[in-house]
Amino acid sequence: MKTGKLQIWVPELIAYEGGIQTYSMDLVEAAAEILGPGRITVISKSDQPQALLLWADGRFESRALGDSPSWCRTALFGAVLLREGLLAEPDLIVMTHAHFSPVGQALFRLRRIPVAVAAHGVEVWDLPEGMTQRGLRSADTILPVSDYTKTRLMNEMGIAEDRFQVIPDTFNPRRFSVGTAPPELRERYGLKPSDKVMLCVSRLAASEQYKGYRQILEVMPSLVRRIPGLKFVLVGRGNDRPNIERQIDRLQLRKHVVLAGFVPGEELPNHYRMADAFAMPSKREGFGIVYLEAMGCGKRCLGGNKDAAADALRHGELGILVDPDNLRELEEGLFRLMTETPPDPQQLHDLANRYFGRAAFLEKVRGMLESFGLR
């Protein structure tokens, strides 16, 4: 029996920050706009129930397990997903993490409830044989955020191309817009008005050195000799910072590198505007929302050519792509980034908005929902 209802299963929406959380929020908001109130239930593993209820503000129903003991939350969450699916029998379940897919597989077997699973990046690449891989294979539709992830899953798991609907990450073009940063922001970091500022925004996690900031540091001694006043501002926090500090000292870059640490979300747009360009030569990025944010603020970007940064930068149309493991190529790419005449900031913003803005994302979500008869 058709119910006209949708369930969305998320790790969390507001309890933590990260790429999957941002994508989950964007997906929920788009679905709520398309379907209207009373048709969506969001089930969250880690959000606090009252906080999620307030954020929902009547747009959707919610279930959240953030107040349950952490030691049993995963098992309890699985039980809640199974129960809610059986009781509500929605027309579609969309899950924003592949780890939930085994429960979706069970519901399909029991009640033939269709399932769509988002696929972001490292969480689905090189999956070992097991419950998550079987759950992903059983999904009616897989929603990769990039063609890169789609291609990897096709090659690694032998999934047919018609099982995929690519829904790229998005950004808020009103928040990340062209403008001028307040002068005191450069003053905060000891930057002169004449300095050439190259920005990177990244988690500084020892497990995520694939982001490429270490490679940038390695070529900085040569770059500062070629580009007068070059400064590298690295925004982010994490357990890799002590190693970065030692690398900066080894390369004698104290005068040329600023470790800005954590920057609250409301200050992030002005950090992009403060910079002359953005660089993150990653090699295991599932998409890279930071590229969209930087381009939204009118800043040219450099990314790696070995991951989904190629999707975000439209295979070179919107920025520079280099081999992040080739330091000579990286140095030349960064030199171009910081010395060539940049594109018109508003034109770059408009292109990023056309390809990846809210309107483009909304239409992708609408198409996915309509493919399951939800409109």
Q: What is the mean pLDDT of residues 264-278?
A: 97
* Domain assignment of residue 175, yes or no: no
Q: What is the mean pLDDT of residues 144-149?
A: 96
Q: In the block, which residue shows the tokens 């908005």?
A: 353
Q: How many domains does the chain have?
A: 2
pLDDT band for 19, please (50, 70, 90 cuts).
confident
CB atoms under 10 Å from CB of 106, counted, come to: 18
Of 128-132, 266-270, 271-275, the range with the lowest mean pLDDT is 128-132
Share of the chain above pLDDT 90, in %: 92
* Domain assignment of residue 238, yes or no: yes
Rg for the chain, CA atoms, rounded? 22
Structural domain that includes position 78: 6-170+357-371
Interatomic CA distance for residues 277 and 199, integer angstroms = 6
The predicted model scores a pTM of 0.94
Q: Give residues with Cβ within 8 angstroms of 235, minimum separation 6.
A: 199, 200, 201, 202, 260, 261, 262, 263, 268, 271
For residue 130, what are its two tokens? 């097991």
* Domain assignment of residue 178, yes or no: no
Do 212 and 69 share a domain, yes or no?
no
DSSP output for 206-266: GGGGGGSHHHHHHHHHHHHHHSTTEEEEEE--STTHHHHHHHHHHTT-TTTEEEEE---GG
pLDDT at 59: 95
The 10 Å CB-count burial string (b at 16+, else e) for 263-286 is eeeeebbbbbbbbbbbbbbbbbbb
Element spanning 42, H or E = strand 40-44
Say what the alpha-carbon torsion angle 314, 320, 321, 322 is, to the nearest 10 degrees: 180
pLDDT band for 209, please (50, 70, 90 cuts).
confident
Interatomic CA distance for residues 184 and 188, integer angstroms = 6
pLDDT at 16: 83
* Domain assignment of residue 91, yes or no: yes
The 10 Å CB-count burial string (b at 16+, else e) for 155-168 is eeeebeeeebbbbb
Interatomic CA distance for residues 178 and 174, integer angstroms = 9
Say what the alpha-carbon torsion angle 230, 236, 241, 246 is, to the nearest 10 degrees: 0
pLDDT at 207: 80
* Domain assignment of residue 253, yes or no: yes
Do 221 and 302 share a domain, yes or no?
yes
Return the DSSP state at 99: G
* Domain assignment of residue 177, yes or no: no
Smallest CA-to-CA distance from 274 within 198, 344, 171 is with 198
Do 188 and 288 share a domain, yes or no?
yes
Do 264 and 333 share a domain, yes or no?
yes
For residue 85, what are its two tokens? 């699916």
pLDDT digits (tens, 9 = 90+) for 313-347: 999 999 999 999 999 999 999 999 999 999 999 99
Q: What is the mean pLDDT of residues 243-263?
A: 96
Smallest CA-to-CA distance from 257 within 266, 244, 242 is with 244
Do 21 and 44 share a domain, yes or no?
yes
CB atoms under 10 Å from CB of 335, counted, come to: 16
Cα atoms found within 13 Å of the Cα of residue 3, Cβ hemisphere only: 18
Do 99 and 67 share a domain, yes or no?
yes
For residue 79, what are its two tokens? 């039980």
- Does 1 score more than 70 pLDDT? no
pLDDT band for 206, please (50, 70, 90 cuts).
confident
Do 110 and 97 share a domain, yes or no?
yes
Do 148 and 266 share a domain, yes or no?
no
Q: What is the mean pLDDT of residues 185-193?
A: 95
Do 38 and 129 share a domain, yes or no?
yes
Do 159 and 233 share a domain, yes or no?
no
- Strand ordering across the sheet containing 92-95: 61-64, 40-44, 6-10, 92-95, 115-119, 141-144
Interatomic CA distance for residues 232 and 196, integer angstroms = 8
Q: What is the mean pLDDT of residues 267-292?
A: 96
Do 364 and 302 share a domain, yes or no?
no
Q: What is the mean pLDDT of residues 350-369?
A: 97
Interatomic CA distance for residues 373 and 151, integer angstroms = 27
Do 347 and 366 share a domain, yes or no?
no
CA distances (Å), origin 177, targets 7, 68, 132, 212, 292: 33, 40, 39, 25, 11
Query: What CATH number should be reported for the domain holding residue 12?
Result: 3.40.50.2000
Interatomic CA distance for residues 308 and 313, integer angstroms = 9
